[in-house]
Amino acid sequence: MTPDTARPFVDLLPAVADALAAGRPVVALESTIITHGMPYPDNSVMAANVERIIAEEGAVPATIAVVGGRIKVGLSDGERESLATASGAMKLSRADLGFAVAQGRTGGTTVAATMICARMADIRVFATGGIGGVHKGAEESFDISADLDELARTPVVVVSAGAKAILDIEKTLEVLETRGVPVVALAADIMPAFWSRQSPYRAPLRLERPEDIAALFETRRKLGLDGGMLVANPVPEEDEIPAGEMARYIAAAHRAAAEQKIAGKAVTPFLLGKILELTDGRSLKTNIALVENNARIAARIAKAL
């Protein structure tokens, strides 16, 4: 679906439509974090708080999801609460977004699907927790997230805390470089690792301010360089779980997934759930903190654009 042909399938929340028509800043938000990333009621509280933070920064939040076959760009409070409690919601990426629309299904949008829908609505900035990437053992499983290809093709700034730390961050960075995706750490030389402020890997690029990121995005557009950008924004220091400690939990979660033969789209939700259990809930608190931090920065980038 191109932005023009997709319009009959898209419902814009009135506040989002008004902001876009007036040229005011809008920030897209994904919904798999609601449907698959956190338990209820934490998912509902988190989603409402993130929208509030974006509004306080002077931008308009647009949580994106598919509800009954309609692409919703911006959710009402009731729609957001229904999504938070929905059972059987699909986890939607590029491959199955059209299927959900055609079949009247409901689902949470991943990074890839949210980027696609944001582009349909002409929203240029998107805040998430962490992107998908190359899974550990991908040389045998070929498990590589569609998020990486979407970053290469769809012109949206994605603000994250880096790739999810359950992934192979080194290989994820290599694939992003091959696809020509700028990876910019905000005021940091080292890539963050989702729950932790630092990974073992240097950031490919560094910029100091949201305004600098907006300027880079505009420069790329004027140069005719296709695709999006990944902003890696470290979790606040007071909220992080140190990388050394997280490595033990992640290793244990991977062992459990292998023992239970978890595969495909079920891998990431399983690992996140297992880590939540192993950390006695600390990983969820950090996850919420980093999403809120990313939303704040995304709103400032959107205002600068």
Q: Which residues are catalytic?
A: 30, 164
d(CA 113, CA 92): 6
d(CA 219, CA 231): 16
For residue 164, count CB atoms less than 10 angstroms from its CB and return exposed for 0-12, middle for 13-18, buried for 19 or more.
buried
Bridge partners, 64 (sequence order): 73
d(CA 295, CA 298): 5
190: DSSP letter = B
Distances, alpha carbon 45 to alpha carbons 51, 82, 289, in Å: 10, 13, 12
Bridge partners, 109 (sequence order): 92
Using the structure block, give the residue that is written with the tokens 């990876």.
183
What φ, ψ does residue 125 adopt, rounded to 5°? -130, 140
